[in-house]
Every structure is written in structure tokens, then in C-alpha cells.
Structure 1
Amino acid sequence: MWPFSLSYPEFSLQEVFEEYDYIIIGGGTAGAVLANRLTTNGDSTVLLVERGPVADSWASRVPLLSSDFASDGSRTHKVSSVHQGSLGRSIELFTGSVLGGTSRMNQMLYGRGLATEYNAWRDAGNPGWGWDDMKPYFLKSERALYPCDANIHNTQGEWCNRPSEALAFPGFSHVLEASKAAGLPNISDINSPEQPVVGCGLLHFTRDQHQHRSSTYSAFLPLELVVQRTSRLHILTNTEAIKLRTRARLGPGRFLVQGVELKSRADAKQRYIQARKEVILCAGPFGSPHVLMLSGIGPARHLQEKDISVIRDIPAVGSNLGDHFGVSVAFEVPMAHSFVSLQRRPWIFIIELFKYLFFGTGMLLAPVVQIVLFASSLLLDEKGLPKSTEIRQDILPDIEIMPMAYDSTDNPVTSRGMFSFLNVLLHPESKGTVRLSSANPSDPLVIDPQYLTNGADFAPLRASLRLTLRLRDRMVEQGYPLIDFGVPDGEDDASLDKFICTRNRTTYHYSSTCRMGPDNGEESGGVVNEELFVHGFDNLRVADSSIFPWVLGTHLQAPTVAVAEKCADMILLRHHERNSVGI
């Protein structure tokens, strides 16, 4: 055990080496994993560059106090989207800006997604990315803290997860009964490929054995490990990557990244650091395309408009932005049945703090959501009910319904007890963009999610809302006191569409702005190949949720970690092979 007074070994920009084997831009959900894996042995040096701070306080480990809706904002980067015409307003977009990234402030949901989707990735021109290829990387880092099937889960990895324990609010139990009454099957393990793809089940959360948030920072870059590897792993926080330096290699259209120009956010000093082997962008679905475009890699016309010299024209950089659009249906419930009681009644917080400190239980575990429903709009009738109780494996769910013990809108009501259903569109057809506002790295990005610009997104959301209202009906029949608060005026298409455009929000599941796939010379093409190399570059990769060919129908932190694990293996294998033949 290291001394309690030992501080986390951070470096200043002036202290780091002039050259490293690997430079990782972004110390978030994926970057923390890569920094760990690339320094497992003593053969390589790694520089990890993170825009935000370490910010390791007691509150940052407590699940509730570290969540985005409850924290002080010190670990979160917020930016407003451009005005969304279909919604009549802009949307505030959140990402992590701290070592460990979004895994430090999200709702800790651990979901792998369905095997069929990864097979679709593979079949879309990305060999090596099918379910059988990805499963080992989910297992590699997982530490399941519950009895489980060893063929499906691992209990020996670094990153902890567990399902919900006792349900914290009465509404959740009634949802389970209502789902059963509506004909939705039970999913006993939402991360098992052997379970029904539609139905209702308990969520899994990344909490450790101490009931602390298990982020990729705490799992992969704990103090003891970073101290042990100080000679080969250097961590720069509060530092921005402002540009990649590149040069041509071998022939036309082939490039190498020589290094990275960095700027300290503390004193604005700049420095150039060279990369001997590779640079890996892990700056997220906004940050990774940002760095590429600042470096002259992206849509040529857009870069020219910003007076940036074009190194390589890749139109898909910053395009194909996906997100799970959410629509909230809300009901008033007794104050004691809602998370709002913690905010409105100070003595409740004191009681819950005591329960957490001494028993590891209570509302500080952030049990605002504990169960989930997956459904397919193709399997629902005109009233929103399943057409059949037959368990189907051949149709992907396109909607997710998350019961929450508060009002799950952007501006939640906190003056009364609330219970809501967040209706989530899992496979949106609408695609957005990330663009530069200028060539200045400090200027904010222009982010346009383009929510609901494709009319095909309305039909599954309508079906989801109708199913939600049928769940409400069943709950009321059970005697649960739900009072309509934020509900559609009717169930006709026009009323539902109006509601969809009114009570909505982002779910923070941004992806695909550096998507994996062949470069077809158009915005619909790919940015990286199946080895995650940026097209045209021999030593520049991207490894975060921006490489997803499309947004997966699940919560994104577990797939992002799996991508980082796979990327690390590809890097280590490549350079082992090169060393073996003396390259």
C-alpha cells in the first residue's frame, strides 16, 4: 500500500521528454485503457495527454455526487449545439473533461450491445470486428462482481460492474410487473447473447467492491500503477493538442505523423513532442475530429474555408455524428417515491449519506434508473403492445425505455415527486456534423446533431411512446398512483410527433465522427480502416466511440473500452512483429 500522502504523478509540459514511442491524445474512457496496456512491459514510453484535470476527490468517487446532473461541473465539458430546427432550440451537449473522461461523470451503465450489430460492423467492410472478434475484449478487462456464467463474463479483470441490488423506488417494481403483464419477456442478463433481445431486465453498473464509481481512471490508471510506471508513462493533464505535424512518406497519398504540438491550459505555453512509433487519438467523438481537422485532415472544402492547409482530404471526418435521441414521458408520484425527495428534504440526504458511508447502500449509489426495456417497433401493434409473446432473436430492438425516478428532461421538475420513462431511439437515421468555427484550437466547435431531420426517426419513437402509455395503464391498474404530468395530448401521429419535438434530450451517446470503413471519398465513407489507422497514414490511429461505423443500440462506455483493448493489441502485435524482423 502506498503512503496516503503520495500525490498522483502528473508532469508539466516543460518536464516531459522530447520524444516518446507512443503519444495518446485524450486520457478519457479509451485513452486510460490504452495508456495502461501500452506500458504493461518496460519496452515502450508513452505520453498521455488529457485536456482536463485529475480531479480525484472523495465526491468524484461517490456514484451520485459524481454524476453529470449532480456534480459541480469540474469534470464535464459542456457545449451548446447549433439551433435544432425540429426542436425549436439548441441542445446542451456533455462530454467528460477529466482523466477517465465520460466514465467519471456518466450514469455508470455497462452494456455490451448485441452480437448481431458487431457482425454487421464486420459485414460492412470491417474484417475482424464481428462478435467473436470483440467478445474477448469485453472479457479482458471485466471484473463481474456477481455470480455469473464464465463463458459470458470475466471476474478477474480491472473494471468492475454489477447489476442492481434491491430496487430503490416503488415505481421500478411496478414497471417490472407491468412489463410482464404487457407480454415482454424477462432478460436475466442484458449482456448475454443467449438472452432475449427484447424484454425487460436489470441494468449493470460500473461500481466497484467499495460501491465507488469504477471509471477507467480508477480501474486502469490507479495511483499505485502510475507510480510504478513513472519511468515510461508520463501523464499531462490540463493540456490540449493543437496540431499534428505530418510528412509525406514513400509515395503519393501516404503520410506519417512526426509528432504533436501541445499547449498548456494553465499558462498557454506550447511545446512540440515527437512520436517514434505512433500517435493515437482518443479525444472522443468531438475531440478526435477536432484535432484531425486542425491538422489539415478532413473535408477539404471546409478546411480551406478556415484557411487550413489540406494534408489529406477525408470528407467523412466530423460527419456521421450519431446520438440516441430521447423523449421523456413524466408522471407525478408521492415525493417519497422519487429521487426528488433527496433534493427537497435535506434530512433525507443526511440519512442517505449515513447509509452509504456505513452500509454502502441508499440513494448515493445513484439508483435513479435500475431497469430497462428493449423493444422493436416492428413487433408492436397500433396500441403499442407486443403482437406476440414469442421470443424473437432475428429482429434488433430499435427502442429502449428507461424508467427513472425523476423527470428525465433537460429541465427537470424538482418541486414535486416525479417518475418518468425516457424513450430512446437506438438506431437513428438522422446524422449530424462536427465542424470548426475557426483555425484557432481554443475556439469552440460547431456541432449540429441534426436531430429528427430524417423523418424515419419518428415511427419508432411513436411506437415507444404508445408502449410507455400502456405500461402506465398497467401500473395504474396495479394501484400505483401515477398522475399524468408530461404526456402526449393524444395517441394519433400528429399529437405524438408534437410531443416528440417538445419533451426531448440528448442521451450523451455521441459516436461515428471518425467512423471505421472504406474511404469512398464522400461524407458517408470511413475515416479509419479496420486497424484503426486514419486512411493514408501509417502511424496515426483513432480509438474511441468516434470510430463506430454507426451508433450501437446500447450504452457506449463498455464498447468504447473494448475498442481500446483491441487497438492496444493491434499496436503491440504490429511492433512486436516489426521488432522480430528488425524493422
Structure 2
Amino acid sequence: MMSAAHINWSTGTLLHSIMWPFSCYPELSLRDISDEYDFIVVGGGTAGAALANRLSTQEANKVLLIERGSVADNWASRVPLLSADFASDGSRTRKVLSAPQDILGRSLELYTGSALGGTSRINQMLYGRGLPAEYNAWRDAGNPGWGWEDIKPYFLKSERALYPSDPSVHNTEGEWCNQATETDGLAFPGFLNVIEASENIGLPKISDINSPVHPAIGCGLLHFTRDKNQHRSSTYSAFLPMNLVLQRASRLHIVTRTDAIKLTLKPDTSSDKLDVEGVILSSSLYPGQRFVKARKEVIICAGPFGSPQLLMLSGIGPALHLKEKGITLVKDLPAVGSNLQDHFGVSVAFEVPMSHSLLSLQKRPWRFFIELFKYLLFGTGMLLAPVLQMALFASSTLLDSGGLPKSPVEDKPDVLPDIEIMPMAYDSTDNPEMNRGMFSFLNVLLHPKSKGTVRLSSRNPSDPLIIDPQYLSNPADYAPLRASLKLTLRLRDRMLKQGYPLKDFGVPDGEDDASLDKFICKRNRTTYHYSSTCRMGPDNGKEDGGVVNEELFVHGFGNLRVADSSVFPWVLGTHLQAPAVAVAEKCADMVLSRYQAV
């Protein structure tokens, strides 16, 4: 997830402007690229960067990667805290407003990455895989080859775990670094108190949140994508470092600050499936447009907003919507841009001493410089981004009416968590308190029933999308959130009993359903975990059907795939960057296997 976008670090912003590297990354402009490639990857974000790396491993493959953002690689972009969306200079972030949410009474700010590496350049670097049962459910919903045992190798392939770990669960040889938080490395006293409180109320410690043999319910320290130098390990730095791109310069071309605005079809085909001929590109740095041909395949990795946008601009999507926008229909796929899901969050906040809060870096500039020197000299301190370092996972079905576990959670090993509670050392709502020390719990709905849409506002590619998450539109989403809020209040009670100085600031007026529901609709936010707008599954001709099949081919096409979090059949109960990379890894294997067999 990403964090509150309203905190401004004036000292951090200054560092952004003065710490530029003396290097020249081999990014190209539209005038520099070739007229045709074997593979065109649209979107160089979290998934696209990994996919471009894998497709270009073979010398015979000529690959074009198209990215709307720039490289945007300066010193501050590598520092975990300074590179997160709430502290950055905005050069790697794209912000849009959602459609007004009737139930919430406002629009929400939606953030995605806009640079090579995408959202992995600006998020909180959380590395979570999700539970085996969730992938098995994907498989059983009509997506053969996507069960846990099928997808597990693709998590392992890229992983480089920089901590002692079980070799049957983790890999230490991949490109993408991750590290585990240690208890003695927790940055704020509140976190230690949460661990003690959770164990006292019956939520056991999870030793490894990414191990399928450890409990799914309890309190665990998080894993982060940081490298051995304590820099952010994004998919840009892991899969597209400058030395690799230079080595592959003859077969891997990366064009930045460029938009793919339309797919074109082959005029004639002997197959019963449609084939894409290529992509029309546009850039503010290049006059006019440019067509580039794909000899083999086009793979869209433009994310849960960009991927359905490109399909719809190309005439692939809901027939009535495309007709309303004056777009010629190529393929009627009602599910394109539908089934949008996100992890909705509700924040409960408390006042704490300023020294216990992340805001101390802003309110006490001398502390920021102390932390800066700690980071530069020792690779330690708050600049490692300890905004959140742990999480609690619980099932609302295992909690009593007061929010406490009914019985030992170990007695229910097959029950999946439906709520995640993330302690944070600041006010984690959309409009945070900025003038006092704050500590909060973000209550996250892991398996929402509500679904939204992504739609075009016009046929003009530069016009903004209409993104309507439709939060809380399904009444079933309230019950787990109520249970989570009660559990949070029981954690508060226990922490107070332990002597931790919490003072109620943003809490429900009561614990009856009406009070909790009012609070849910008031102190909420997105967690930026958008998914499922090009969902994988059979095409049933309806909005709840699939857009791509189990090989990630868009239904009705023989050489067009989608590979990013938009293909998730539904949002996973975890943070999404690691699953997005696993999808890219599996896609690369399927693509390369197809042409090796020819």
C-alpha cells in the first residue's frame, strides 16, 4: 500500500532537487525506436518491467517496452522514506480523482506510479504473497494453471530474501530483494506495545507472513523490498538496471514519456481469432504519432486503470459504452473495465507523544537530519520507511460481539482472514491530523464484495478516465469492518492497560452498528490496491465475466495478452506488488514456451 499523500517534508523535497545522479540511462524517444519488434510490452510498471526483462533474455527476441512516465532516478528516489508517494516530489506519481462516492459523500484521490517500475517506485515496499487457498480458488473458478503450486515457482524465481529463511519457502538468488523486519528494529514504541497487546488478547505471532505453513491469523512483522544497501528495490532497479539495459541494447528498447493510444488489427487473418498488428504511440516530446508493428505479440501491462483504457480505446470492451463514445466496436467484452476492486480502509487514531510519531521528522527538523545521518552512515533509522512495520490478520467470523477471539485461532487453521489491521505511527486517514503526535490503526477489508468500474470519458486518449470504485455499495462489506473496529478498540484497551499513553482522537462514538457504520463512512481511505478490471476467467458475455483466459490472452485474440493486477479474478487478501510480478513471471514463461515450440 501507499500512505497518506498529504504529509510534506520540506527538507526531503530539497534533497530531491539536489541529489541527481551523474548517469545516463538508455531511454529512447519515439524517433529512436524501430518500426517493428517481436514483442511490444505496453507499460513499464511493476509487472511490465519484470516482463520486459524476461522476454529479452533470449538474443533472438527484439522487445519494445513503452512507459508513460520517465526514468526519474535520483538519489532521493532510492531512499525508502523519501521515495514514498507522500514524501516524494511527485515525479513518479500520477494522481486522479475518483468519481464522487455517494455513500462516502466525496471523491477520493487515487494514486498510481508513473515511471519505470510503476507503483513499486512509490509504495511502502511491502512484499506479501497471499495465501495458497486464494490461488486455489482462482484455479477452481475456471482458471487452470493458477493454483498455489502453479504460481509458487514464480514468486520464488525473482525473490532474493536477504534474511535467514526456509529454503522451501524463499529464494535467495533472484533479482528482487526483500528484507524482514526484526523486533529490535521497530521504530516506534507503539509497535512493540501492539505486539504485546495482540498476544494478550489471543492473536498469536506469525513468524513468517509469507510462509504457507505458518498461521494465517495473528500478528506478524512485514517484509519489505529493500536491497542490501538499504535502497528501495523496485522492479525498475531489480529488473531494468542500467547495466542490463546497456548489455541488451540491441534487443531491448525502452521508450519513456510515451503513451500507447490504440491497438491496430491485422487487416487479414486466416485464423478464427483476431490478431493485433501493432500499437499507435504518442509522446509530448515527439510531433504527431508513430505506429510500431508487433511481429509476435502485444502484452499490455498498463495497470488496472491503463490496461482497460487501452482496450476500450481500441474498440475492445462493453459494446454500448463504446458506441456512446463513438468508438468502432472490434470485440464486445462487457467485463473490460468492470469488477474494479480495492482494499477499503478505515482509520482509528490516537494522540501519542510527538517523539512516538513519524510527524516528529516534520515538526522537529533537527530529528530529520539526525535520521538522515543515521541512514547515510549506518543504513539505519526512520528513512528506511518505518511507516508501518507489522500487521494483524483476523477473521471476523472468529471474533465475538465485543471484538475478541472466541477461541484459540489455532483451532481454525482453514479459516482465512478477512480483515487486516495495520498500526501506523501517524494519522492514517485521508485528512490526517498534522499538529500533534499520532498513532493509528488502519482497518482494511481484505475481501470486499463491492465492485466498481473504469470507463472512458471520451474517445480522446488524453481525457481523464471515469474511475468509480463504488466503495461500500455492497452492504455485506460493513460487517467485517465493524468487527475489525471492535478488535482495534480491544487492542487500545489492552495497550492502555500496559501503560502505553494513547488518547482517543478519531474513534467511533459507540460500538453499536449505527455508530460504527457512521464512523466507517467518515474516516476512510483507499489502500491503492486496485485490481480485476481485465479479470481472468471465462467470457460469459456479462460484466462479471472474464477478459482474459488462463494464458492471459484477451478473449477472441491470438496475440494480445494482459499481465498485471488487472487480471486478478478478484483482489487478493494481501499487498499486490509481489503477486503482480508473479503474474508477469508466469506470463513470460507462457510466451517464451509458445515460440520455443514452433
* Range of TM-score over shorter length: over 0.9
Q: Given the alignment of the two structures, is residue 411 of structure 1 paired with residue 428 of structure 2, yes or no? A: no
Residue from 532, 536, 553 that aligns with 2:556:
536
Residue 6 (structure 1) shift: 4.6
Identity fraction in percent = 75
Q: Secondary structure at the match of 1:178?
A: helix
Residue from 435, 449, 460 that aligns with 2:469:
449
How many Å separate the matches in 2 of 1:80 and 1:141?
Answer: 34
1:555-566, aligned counterparts within 5 Å?
555-566=575-586
Q: Secondary structure at the match of 1:9?
A: coil
Residue 247 (structure 1) shift: 3.2
Q: Is the 8 A contact 2:202 2:409 kept in 1?
A: no
The amino acid of 1:553's aligned partner reads G
Q: Is the 8 A contact 2:262 2:310 kept in 1?
A: yes
How many Å separate the matches in 2 of 1:317 and 1:251?
Answer: 26
The amino acid of 2:122's aligned partner reads M
Residue 266 (structure 1) shift: 2.4
Show the counterpart of 1:86: 103
The amino acid of 1:46's aligned partner reads V
Q: Is the 8 A contact 1:253 1:312 kept in 2?
A: no
Q: Is the 8 A contact 2:269 2:275 kept in 1?
A: no
Q: Secondary structure at the match of 2:266?
A: strand
Show the counterpart of 1:361: 380
Q: Given the alignment of the two structures, is residue 188 of structure 1 paired with residue 207 of structure 2, yes or no? A: yes
Q: Secondary structure at the match of 1:395?
A: coil
1:406-445, aligned counterparts within 5 Å?
406-445=426-465
Residue from 514, 538, 562 that aligns with 1:518:
538
How many Å separate the matches in 1 of 2:81 and 2:278?
Answer: 39
Query: Residue deviations 1:222-279, cap 9 Å, x none?
Result: 0100000000000000000000001366578620000000001324531000000000
Q: Given the alignment of the two structures, is residue 459 of structure 1 paired with residue 476 of structure 2, yes or no? A: no
Q: Is the 8 A contact 1:182 1:385 kept in 2?
A: yes
How many Å separate the matches in 2 of 1:417 and 1:473?
Answer: 19
Distance 1:188 1:268, change over 3 A: farther
How many Å separate the matches in 2 of 1:316 and 1:266?
Answer: 34
Q: Secondary structure at the match of 2:340?
A: coil
Q: Secondary structure at the match of 2:275?
A: strand
Q: Is the 8 A contact 1:437 1:443 kept in 2?
A: yes
Distance 1:437 1:253, change over 3 A: farther
Q: Is the 8 A contact 1:63 1:365 kept in 2?
A: yes
Q: Is the 8 A contact 1:402 1:421 kept in 2?
A: yes
The amino acid of 2:377's aligned partner reads F
Q: Given the alignment of the two structures, is residue 262 of structure 1 paired with residue 258 of structure 2, yes or no? A: no
Mean Cα deviation higher: 5-14 or 499-508: 5-14
Query: Residue deviations 1:27-81, cap 9 Å, x none?
Result: 0000000110011120100000000000000000000000011111110010000
Distance 1:302 1:416, change over 3 A: same
Query: Residue deviations 1:349-386, cap 9 Å, x none?
Result: 01000000000011111101001000000000000000
1:102-251, aligned counterparts within 5 Å?
102-165=119-182, 166-247=185-266, 250=269
Residue 412 (structure 1) shift: 1.2
Show the counterpart of 1:301: 320
Show the counterpart of 2:590: 570
* CA RMSD, Structure 1 to Structure 2 (Å): 1.0
How many Å separate the matches in 1 of 2:89 and 2:22?
Answer: 25
Q: Secondary structure at the match of 2:76?
A: coil
Q: Given the alignment of the two structures, is residue 19 of structure 1 paired with residue 19 of structure 2, yes or no? A: no
The amino acid of 1:149's aligned partner reads D
The amino acid of 2:177's aligned partner reads C
Residue 7 (structure 1) shift: 1.1
Q: Is the 8 A contact 1:240 1:265 kept in 2?
A: no
The amino acid of 2:462's aligned partner reads S
Q: Given the alignment of the two structures, is residue 34 of structure 1 paired with residue 79 of structure 2, yes or no? A: no
Show the counterpart of 2:390: 371
Q: Secondary structure at the match of 1:196?
A: coil
How many Å separate the matches in 1 of 2:202 and 2:501?
Answer: 22
Q: Secondary structure at the match of 2:404?
A: coil
How many Å separate the matches in 1 of 2:560 and 2:351?
Answer: 52
Show the counterpart of 2:294: 275
How many Å separate the matches in 1 of 2:465 and 2:212?
Answer: 38
Q: Is the 8 A contact 1:515 1:527 kept in 2?
A: yes
The amino acid of 1:81's aligned partner reads S
How many Å separate the matches in 1 of 2:409 and 2:37?
Answer: 57
Q: Secondary structure at the match of 1:429?
A: coil
How many Å separate the matches in 2 of 1:212 and 1:121?
Answer: 34
Q: Given the alignment of the two structures, is residue 74 of structure 1 paired with residue 95 of structure 2, yes or no? A: no
How many Å separate the matches in 2 of 1:173 and 1:529?
Answer: 45
- Give structure 1 stretches of 5+ with no counterpart: 579-583
Q: Given the alignment of the two structures, is residue 325 of structure 1 paired with residue 344 of structure 2, yes or no? A: yes
Q: Is the 8 A contact 1:343 1:414 kept in 2?
A: no
Q: Is the 8 A contact 1:112 1:554 kept in 2?
A: yes
How many Å separate the matches in 2 of 1:387 and 1:261?
Answer: 58
1:472-551, aligned counterparts within 5 Å?
472-551=492-571
Q: Is the 8 A contact 2:30 2:286 kept in 1?
A: no
Residue 543 (structure 1) shift: 0.2
How many Å separate the matches in 1 of 2:194 and 2:103?
Answer: 31
Q: Is the 8 A contact 1:248 1:255 kept in 2?
A: no
How many Å separate the matches in 1 of 2:246 and 2:576?
Answer: 30
Residue 393 (structure 1) shift: 2.0
How many Å separate the matches in 2 of 1:302 and 1:556?
Answer: 29
Residue 408 (structure 1) shift: 0.3
Residue from 363, 366, 372 that aligns with 1:347:
366
How many Å separate the matches in 2 of 1:257 and 1:154?
Answer: 37
Q: Is the 8 A contact 1:23 1:278 kept in 2?
A: yes
Q: Is the 8 A contact 2:139 2:147 kept in 1?
A: yes
Distance 1:410 1:48, change over 3 A: same
